[in-house]
Chains A and B, each alone.
Chain A
Amino acid sequence: MGGLDQQAKRDASLWRSDAAGIVEELFPVVSKEGWDLLLDLRQGLLHGTHWEKTLSLFLACRKRWEADHYLPFWRLRNLLAQSLRLSANGGAEVSREVMCRLLQQNHSSWQTWKSAAEAELSLILNPLELPLQMQLREAL
């Protein structure tokens, strides 16, 4: 059982290396001034546990380079939507469809992204549960 759990965790974490690989493809096509930001995003995707920070890095990179490099950001966005779970107050999770929609919207910071997520969640949650404590975690 422990072995199976380990295997499941290994399989689930494959998305991290896929995502890091997409970021690596960006290095040769963006200016060197942006490499530090890309390195931080790559590090967050590969080893991070603070997903709000990693999402902020993703949004910052997207704002800077998506217009010229749409495909890698589309791929990253899909991987994040599949692999992260957004919950409120430690309970209700948004569906994958909502997660895709939220990531599709062109927010440039974690704060505006979070506000949009709160607006989505407030529609499906009991008003007594507001205000919301938003949490991003990896789906394992």
Chain B
Amino acid sequence: MTTQTKTSSSTKTSPVTQALETLLADSYALLAQTHLAHWNVEGPAFFQLHAAFQTQYEELFTAIDDIAERLRALDAYAPGGLKTLAAKSSITEMASGAAPAKDFVAHLIDSQEIAVSSATALRNSAEEHGDLETQDLAIARIQTHQKTLWMLKSFLKNL
């Protein structure tokens, strides 16, 4: 009888865990972009946007923990590190410099829409594989991102 040790190769990867990894990476990238917007936004709407972006990145921080812990619950390891997560995410980076406040909002709308796509792919994969708990997590993420999108898009209207 051989002794088995638990290594990364012994963890379970599946379409569901791969979709969780993508959502984790996109959520982390979105958090970083929202944090950047929180720091660099300027103009008459500063106080409003600065506070709104903080609420958004704090919510994302909690969500990222839940997504990573769901990966662990499925016996997969969570990817980490800025380079690794950036390589797995399709969210683009905004240049760190002066930009109109509306550009920060527009960039975050694009990024939130990517997060919705990732969460939707996760929801569909979890449904296909009968993983209702992961599906529930994905649905909650879709709802949160859609609500944030509504708020960001409302801000841009007739500005």
Interface positions of A (Cβ within 8 A of B): 67-68, 70-71, 74-75, 97, 100, 104
Contacts and interface: CB of A to CB of B under 8 A. Distances in A.
B95 A70 contact: no
A104 to B, nearest CB: 7
B102 A74 contact: yes
B109 A71 contact: yes
19 contacts: A67-B158, A67-B159, A68-B157, A70-B102, A70-B106, A70-B156, A71-B109, A71-B153, A71-B156, A74-B103, A74-B106, A74-B107, A75-B106, A75-B110, A97-B95, A100-B95, A104-B99, A104-B100, A104-B103
Contacts, number: 23
Contacts of B110: 75
A23 to B, nearest CB: 17
Most buried by B among A68, A71, A104: A71
Interface string B127-159: 000000000000000000000000001001111
Nearest to B153: A71
Contacts of B158: 67-68
Interface of chain A: mostly helix, strand, loop or mixed:
helix
A104 B110 CA distance: 17
A68 B102 CA distance: 12
A71 B108 CA distance: 11
Given A70-B159, A75-B110, 13 more contacts: A67-B158, A68-B157, A70-B102, A70-B156, A71-B106, A71-B109, A71-B153, A71-B156, A74-B102, A74-B106, A97-B95, A104-B100, A104-B103
A133 to B, nearest CB: 29
A68 B157 CA distance: 6
Contacts of A100: 95
Contacts of B102: 70, 74
Contacts of A68: 157-158
Most buried by B among A67, A70, A71, A74: A70
B128 to A, nearest CB: 29
Nearest 6 A/B pairs, CB to CB: A74-B106, A70-B156, A71-B106, A70-B102, A71-B156, A68-B158
Contacts of B107: 74
A97 B99 CA distance: 12
A65 to B, nearest CB: 12
A68 B153 CA distance: 12
Interface string B92-108: 00010001101100110
Contacts of B99: 104
